[in-house]
Structure 1
Amino acid sequence: MNMATWRLLFSTSPINLLCTRRLATQNPIMSKLKRNIEKDILPPKPKKPLNPFIQYCLSVKNTLQKEYPDCTYVDVVKRASKQWAQVEPKVKESLKKQYMEQQSIYKQKLQDYENSITSDQKLLIKKELIKKEHAWEKSQVKQKLTELGKPKRPLSAFFLFLQNKQSAKDPQVPYKDWTINLSEEWKNMTTEAKEKYVVEATHLYEKYKIELKKWEEDMIQAGHHNLLKSNVKSNVKSKRVTNIHKE
């Protein structure tokens, strides 16, 4: 009994049994993104019929749960599997015949469904998938940079001001309202009052630039050029050209 069957039998929420379309990439995350996009844009697909074994398990599930109330779901499924092995061939053949008939109807419905999808819908799905894919790739790069210890950009003067005020925040005031109020306060502050935050932000940023430069040099040495910004990669390329000429 595989996990998909177990989820189908004992999930409290509907299980999506729709087939994955070839247009989705081999990356399972991209396939999932595409299915979610199609779900938002297109009407529901025809449901794929349940195979004979799953139909049988569903038909005996409640009985087995009542008969063995202390058994786990996995144990109930195992018992159903053992019973299925002993089911008369005629019963299995009947279920198989029903399944084949349902499968034939399903294929026709699926074909009609796919033929009903308009060019505009397909284009919209493609655009949304590209957008989601870019966002996913960006998040993967960000995660990788974090794992490689890339220094974090420090807070600006304004956010240092917010951070300083955080301890005095009234917990009853929504965060959005609190930031709006402090934004107005910041706008009305004198240059002298802002000075300490500006000085601290400048100091932190200068320190950040030094740490970032050192980190980038380490990444170049480690061969992670693809994770650096375009200007850094250009510098790497220039250095390589210079070294080639020197040689």
Structure 2
Amino acid sequence: MAPYNLLTATASLVARSFSAFYTNTPARCTSIVYNAHIFPVKYLTSQTSGPPKRPLNGYMRYVLQQKPFVTSQNPEIKLVDVVRKIAQQWRMMSPEEKQPFQEASVQAMKQFKMDLEKYQSQLTPAQLQQQAVERRQRLAKRKAIRKKRELTILGKPKRPRTPFNIFMSEHFQEARGATTQAKMKSLLDDWRNLFSHQKQIYVQLAEDDKIRYKNEMKSWEDHMVDIGRVDLIREQTQPTKKKPPAVKKQAKKSSAKSVKKTSPKRKSKTSSKTKLSSSAKTVKAGSSKKA
């Protein structure tokens, strides 16, 4: 019995130790995770930082400074009205009052140029080329946005709509789907399922819209010519320009050169004719002598 009791005692002791380990393990793990969230590990990386940001000008510095005060004094107005109010204050300020903000902008610009040179010196030629391409793309996009805004202000007519665009605008409200994309998909399916005679109605409306666009564009382009904005007119409708006199002179010179080049050929033809006539005379003289 003694050995049996000894075995049971050791077995119970081992079981208690394992139960204590398993019951305490989750608490320990949760405490470790909690501490890790409180004190996150900071990883050191060797990646280069991005390019320095261009500093704000004096006006934008004043806006950021005055925005909290104006918002606290006028909590009911919108952000656009807040900015307008600050802009009005800036216009009423004297040059001496604006000077601190402008001087801070100048100093920040000097530091920006130094940081930019330092950043660009660390780049490879491929990275510099990629930055130049991205900059050109940004400028082109900005230019296109400005041009579109200018054309809208000048009242350029809207382009003609397609038959499907007309169909979609008429049936968009009752289209199936919760989102805009779903409605567009359902309208496209409905358009494909229409019969040809049903589509013909929208085709005719699209043709009428083309005529409307053509007439409006003609009057708009005439108006652009009157105000001196020929650069906004389409290439196919631009007025024809007379050729400058220099082009005519060049054309005359080229024609004179061509005449000179062709004159030796004429001489050669005449010389060949004279040779043939002389040879014919000698043949006749020989035949008379024989007779």
Structure 1 stretches of at least 4 aligned residues deviating more than 3 Å after TM superposition? 45-48, 109-113
- Mapped partners of 2:152, 2:197: distance in 1: 36
Given candidates 154, 163, 174, the residue that maps to 2:179 is: 174
Match of 1:121 among 117, 121, 127: 127
Structure (1 or 2) with the larger CA radius of gyration: 2
Q: How does 1:53-72 map to 2 (within 5 A)?
A: none
Aligned pairs for 1:103-142 (under 5 A) are: 112-142=118-148
Task: Give 1:129's aligned amino acid.
Answer: R
Query: Structure 1 stretch 112-121 or stretch 150-159: which is displaced more?
Result: 112-121
Deviation at residue 167 of structure 1 after TM alignment = 2.4
Q: Report the TM-score when normalising by structure 2.
A: 0.43
- Structure-1 separation of matches of 2:190 and 2:178: 16
Percent identical residues: 25
Q: Which residue of 2 aligns with 1:228?
A: 233
Q: Is 1:241 the equivalent of 2:242?
A: yes
TM-superposed CA distance for 1:110, in Å, is 6.5
The SS at the match of 1:168 is coil
Cα separation, partners in 2 of 1:129 and 1:111, compared to 1, 3 Å: closer
The answer as to whether partners of 1:141 and 1:227 remain within 8 angstroms in 2 is: no
Please tell me whether residue 148 in structure 1 is matched to residue 149 in structure 2.
Answer: no
> What secondary structure sits across from 1:208 in the alignment?
helix
CA contact (8 A) 2:172 2:187 kept: no
CA contact (8 A) 1:45 1:110 kept: yes
Deviations 1:165-203 (A, max 9, x none): 122135x62111211121122122211111111111111
Q: Which has the higher contact order (CA 8 A, sep 6+)?
A: 1
TM-score normalised per structure 1: 0.51
Paired with 1:44 and 1:220, the residues of 2 have a C-alpha distance of 47
- Which position in structure 2 is the counterpart of 1:39? none
Matches within 5 A, 1:7-18: none
* 8 Å Cα contact 2:166/2:202 also seen in 1: yes
Distance 2:193 2:214 in 1: 30
**Deviation, structure 1 residue 114:** 2.8
Q: Which runs of 5+ in 2 are unaligned?
A: 1-47, 55-71, 74-109, 246-291
**RMSD across aligned positions (CA):** 3.4
- How far residue 155 of structure 1 moved from its aligned partner, in angstroms, is 2.0
Change (3 A) 1:208 1:139: same
In the comparison of the two structures, how many residue pairs are matched? 145
